[in-house]
Structure 1
Amino acid sequence: MFGTSQSRIVIIRLNRAGYEAVFVGGAVRDYLLGKEPTDIDIATSATPAQVKSVFLNTVDLGTEHGTVLVIESGEPIEVTTYRTEGMYSDNRRPDKVQFVTSLEEDLKRRDFTINALALRLNGEVVDPFNGRADLSSRTIRAVGHATERFNEDALRMIRAVRFVSVLGFQLETSTKESIACLSHKVKTLSVERIKTEFDKLFRGASAQHALQLIKETRLSGALPLYPVNHELWISSAPFRSPMEGWASLMVTGNFKASEVAHAYKLSNKERIFLQAVQHFYSVRQQRAYTIEDYYKSDVITLNVVEKLIVEVDGQNGIEEKTIEKSIARLPIHSKQDLAVRGQQLMCWTDKKSGKWLGESLQAIENAVLHQEISNDENAIKEWFLHEYQHKE
């Protein structure tokens, strides 16, 4: 049975009120592919006002575009009115939306045939554009004329190759040709939208094929940043995470972390991750990791670095288990793990806080890390008072 009990209740209540309501979108596609559906959406012949009249608990998400959030037994469910759309002068949003009562008219405005499917509560699949046949043949095909769909929203071209990556499908010939002709329109898109699609693309098992298509369809020339040596980037796919994909772009393109972060408006956390990869990649090109390297890094960062060392530089890499063991063997993993704090040092020496305190804690941290002393308060006190201070 498709959908949650709450989503089925929403459809039942809309039906009882005299309105048609069906499941639509990617969740239907995934269900027909035998995957666990997520982000379940409902489309209906009811207008937003009519939807709100049926349910007590609703939130307006964009009633001008027909979407109402229905809260049913605590579960939020998006319900959108059937609609047709006018011109897309900004290549993103329709200039005009008109509500309709025809499900087929609503499905006609969708991007690809595999997404233009609807599922009735009784299990009947509504498929006016042969989306099920394209699911069977593993094909990404635009609904109607591909040129019209991509002129409406240029992001659909990147979505097409994202679906290739995630689903392992092929691009239908005319759809691919239309992308090649209109690829320049990607320059009109906001970087944030492009970045979101690439995050999803990088998660796909067929990311290598998708990146190859980005080059073949000339989308590469319209992107904010793309490596000259694109074959090297393509060969480094698939990726275990979106951040591995961004790190691979950085290294294969010989870009700085700051360049990638700026071009694709990465978050501060993502920028810091790329900076760490950039640093340790440079280290590994020259030598093996030291205790300090393991201490200052983490398993995820070093695993990404090792993949790049193998696939980009052709060097022998360090296995993940070796990295994990090396980090696990460290006596401490941060300064916070030390058995002493500055307050104890001031008590031991009867000194006030000052530059000496930070230097002393740094020395203790280094001694514990290199196992010159154990991470024990008494052992640290003995070493600090009789060896470290004596040297000073």
Structure 2
Amino acid sequence: MSTPFGTVAGRHVISTLQAAGFETVFVGGAVRDFLLGKDPSDMDIATSATPQQVKNVFRRTVDIGIAHGTIVVLAPEPVEVTTFRTSADSQQANDKRPVSLVEDLQHRDFTINALAMRLDGELVDCFNGQADLHECLIRTVGDPVDRFSEDPLRIMRAVRFASVLNFDIAYDTLAVMKQLVHQLQHVAIERIKVEIDKLFQGINPLKAFHYSRSIGLHTVLPELFSSFEHLDKYMPFVHAQHGWAAMLTESECTAAELANRFKLSNEEKRFLKQCEDALRIRNSRSFDTLDIYYFSSDVLQVVEKIRHAQVKDEPVMTKEQIIQWKERLPIQNRSELSFTGTDLLQWSGLRGGKWTSEWIEKIEQAVVCKRIENDAQSIKEWFLYEISREK
């Protein structure tokens, strides 16, 4: 190879462990992506050394998954190093019995991920993973029943890879996925959510949804996979949040129900709720100036895209038009207003109360809609006139 594979830190870790007498290689997704001509990510390293032996070799380590045989070596960049295993969960962290690289690869999920590369660039491919890469095929290593029984999440991973790589799933692998899909109900929803996030950001989410439907995934996760009539119109998803927003229109769930079911983060919950609110408005009328002000560009773009998918002949705003409209607003947020609540008390001579926040909002909207200029004197005059009319 003209360029050495792996990061400098990763190569240092491998060479150091090899010098200490342990077989050590790059494995998994990074090798797969490299062979596909992509920039490798998640540079994982597997070794015959036990976690304790890895800690003995390196002075600076972090125990992030020692129960599963994983240690982070600070070299100085963090590098994950995992002990060779004989199954997805049977290898004990401090098990001293020798385990070979072939045994480790034999119990990985798919042939395209059961690839290893030595420091000198030699590829270790015991299960025709390179051939499956060439054929754009997702196939389990060995018996699909064994692989999916070791970890049912692999069913979701197969669907995710169909989207991310735009690969097909081998017939025998797909048949067992359908047979064992019910086991996903025993998998933590947080783990499933990670796979769905990656699925949304793939090359072809629609292919993944078709596979999901064919194996009956909608019986386990009806909130997501029951319907996807307009999904192709929403793609590509800029990020996972856009995928979750699209699901609002493809399922019967509310934003709150979807967020709670899949344990979305607070930020994701807020985004989804804003999309729900904006979509409700957009389904009754076009966005106005206040909508452009209150909703983020991201929310507005997603909702316009959803509206376009549902009503093809209706004009919708482009991303550029939304950005331009936002840029023309007198202010971008409340902090830019040229007055404070204290000013209202001084101008009116009244005591503070609920009325203060109500008038701040009224003034804010008046400024946004250009009914008054954003300067203290103009605001004072407008406020005193308007409040006198209400007495």
TM-score between the two structures when normalised by the length of structure 1: 0.92
Q: Which residue of 2 aligns with 1:325?
A: 324
Q: Which residue of 1 aligns with 2:47?
A: 44
Q: Which residue of 1 aligns with 2:86?
A: 84
Give the alignment partner of residue 19 of structure 1, picking from 14, 17, 22.
22
Query: Would you say 1:94 and 2:93 are equivalent positions?
Result: no
Q: Where do 1:117-136 residues align within 5 Å? A: 117-136=115-134
Query: Would you say the 8 A contact 1:119–1:125 is kept in 2?
Result: yes
Aligned equivalents of 2:110, 2:225: Cα separation in 1: 29
The superposition leaves residues 35-71 of structure 1 with CA deviations (integer Å, 9 ceiling, x where unpaired) of: 1112211111112222111111112233332222111
Aligned equivalents of 2:226, 2:34: Cα separation in 1: 39
Q: Which residue of 2 aligns with 1:58?
A: 61
Query: Would you say 1:176 and 2:174 are equivalent positions?
Result: yes
Query: Would you say the 8 A contact 1:41–1:77 is kept in 2?
Result: yes
Give the alignment partner of residue 70 of structure 1, picking from 61, 69, 73.
73
Secondary structure (helix, strand or coil) at the match of 1:83 reads coil
Aligned equivalents of 1:362, 1:5: Cα separation in 2: 55
Q: Where do 1:183-332 residues align within 5 Å? A: 183-223=181-221, 225-226=223-224, 228-233=226-231, 236-316=234-314, 317-332=316-331
Superposition deviation, residue 288 in structure 1: 1.1
Give the alignment partner of residue 151 of structure 1, picking from 149, 152, 174.
149
Residue type matched to 2:367 in 1?
V
Residue type matched to 1:61 in 2?
I
Query: Would you say the 8 A contact 1:302–1:323 is kept in 2?
Result: yes
Aligned equivalents of 2:139, 2:388: Cα separation in 1: 77
**Farther-moved stretch of structure 1 (278-287 vs 105-114):** 278-287
Secondary structure (helix, strand or coil) at the match of 1:38 reads coil
Superposition deviation, residue 159 in structure 1: 0.3
What are the ranges of 5 or more consecutive residues in structure 2 without an aligned counterpart?
none
Superposition deviation, residue 211 in structure 1: 0.7
Query: Would you say 1:116 and 2:118 are equivalent positions?
Result: no
**Farther-moved stretch of structure 1 (206-215 vs 218-227):** 218-227
Aligned equivalents of 1:278, 1:65: Cα separation in 2: 41
Query: Would you say 1:342 and 2:344 are equivalent positions?
Result: no
CA-based RMSD of the aligned residues comes to 1.9
Query: Would you say the 8 A contact 1:6–1:72 is kept in 2?
Result: yes
Query: Would you say 1:163 and 2:155 are equivalent positions?
Result: no
The superposition leaves residues 81-110 of structure 1 with CA deviations (integer Å, 9 ceiling, x where unpaired) of: 11213xxxxxxx625545534111111110
Residue type matched to 2:308 in 1?
V
Superposition deviation, residue 332 in structure 1: 1.6
Secondary structure (helix, strand or coil) at the match of 2:59 reads coil
Superposition deviation, residue 210 in structure 1: 0.8
Query: Would you say 1:372 and 2:371 are equivalent positions?
Result: yes
Kindly tell me the number of residue pairs found equivalent between the two proteins: 383
Secondary structure (helix, strand or coil) at the match of 1:240 reads coil
Secondary structure (helix, strand or coil) at the match of 2:80 reads strand
Percentage of pairs with the same residue: 44
Secondary structure (helix, strand or coil) at the match of 2:312 reads coil
Cα distance, 1:51–1:228 mapped onto 2, change above 3 Å: closer
Query: Would you say the 8 A contact 1:61–1:69 is kept in 2?
Result: yes
Aligned equivalents of 2:313, 2:263: Cα separation in 1: 31
Cα distance, 1:59–1:119 mapped onto 2, change above 3 Å: same
Q: Which residue of 2 aligns with 1:90?
A: none
Secondary structure (helix, strand or coil) at the match of 1:70 reads strand
Superposition deviation, residue 294 in structure 1: 1.2
Aligned equivalents of 1:221, 1:343: Cα separation in 2: 57
Q: Which residue of 1 aligns with 2:351?
A: 352
**Farther-moved stretch of structure 1 (354-363 vs 227-236):** 227-236
Residue type matched to 2:80 in 1?
E
Aligned equivalents of 1:345, 1:226: Cα separation in 2: 49
Query: Would you say the 8 A contact 2:212–2:225 is kept in 1?
Result: no
Residue type matched to 1:55 in 2?
F
TM-score between the two structures when normalised by the length of structure 2: 0.92
Secondary structure (helix, strand or coil) at the match of 1:282 reads helix
